[in-house]
């Protein structure tokens, strides 16, 4: 009986090792997916959020939460930027002189942002500069989609 229980113990150890290796592999896959998702998110956050924030503000003054909601609504919920990204961006745009923030007089005081003249100019310049890049990116996505799924 001692030899048989030794074999059972060895097979249990082998199974534990196999399961642990599988766990590590799956964990690495999840980390890779997370990094890839963050990279895709950064394209939106770093590349498109500034100009789209300027676009929303070109429609009229509003606060950071509303900017996030408007972007979510305009993109049919595909992209809803966090206010944790919008407010630092608004602060940066304010320091650059592109937006102006003023506190409203409501009970729940909130900062309302509006484009300055320089902000309107920056928005128009960025639109011109990014148009070709956005069109090229759309073409690349279209090709990749066709290659992978058609």
Q: What is the pLDDT of residues 9-53, one digit of tens each?
A: 778 888 888 888 888 887 777 676 565 555 444 445 457 899 999
Residues 53-112 pLDDT 10s? 999 999 999 999 999 999 999 999 988 988 888 999 999 999 999 999 998 877 677 899
pLDDT of residue 2: 55
pLDDT of residue 41: 44
pTM above 0.75, yes or no: no
Domain of 121 in residue numbering reads as 2-149
Please state at what angle helix 49-58 crosses helix 83-95, rounded to 10 degrees: 70
pLDDT of residue 66: 96
Residue 150 has pLDDT above 80, yes or no: yes
Residue 1 has pLDDT above 60, yes or no: no
CA distance 134 to 139: 9
> Tell me, what CATH number does 121's domain have?
1.10.10.10
pLDDT of residue 101: 93
pLDDT of residue 12: 84
- From residue 68, alpha-carbon distances to 51, 81, 100, 148 in Å are 13, 6, 18, 32
Number of domains in the chain: 1
Q: How many CB atoms lie under 10 A from the CB of residue 25? A: 10
């Amino acid at each position: 009986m001692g030899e048989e229980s030794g074999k059972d113990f060895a097979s249990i150890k082998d199974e534990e090792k196999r399961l642990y290796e599988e766990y590590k592999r799956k964990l690495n896959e999840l980390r890779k997916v997370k990094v890839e998702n963050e990279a895709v998110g950064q394209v939106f956050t770093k590349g498109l959020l500034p100009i789209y924030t300027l676009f929303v503000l070109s429609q009229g003054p509003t606060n950071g939460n509303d900017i996030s909601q408007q972007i979510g609504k305009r993109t049919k919920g595909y992209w809803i930027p966090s206010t944790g990204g919008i407010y630092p961006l608004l602060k940066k745009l304010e320091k650059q002189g592109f937006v102006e923030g003023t506190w409203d007089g409501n009970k729940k005081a909130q900062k309302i942002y509006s484009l300055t003249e320089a902000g309107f100019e920056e928005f128009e310049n960025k639109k011109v500069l990014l148009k070709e890049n956005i069109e090229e990116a759309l073409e690349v996505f279209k090709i990749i989609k066709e290659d992978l799924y058609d």
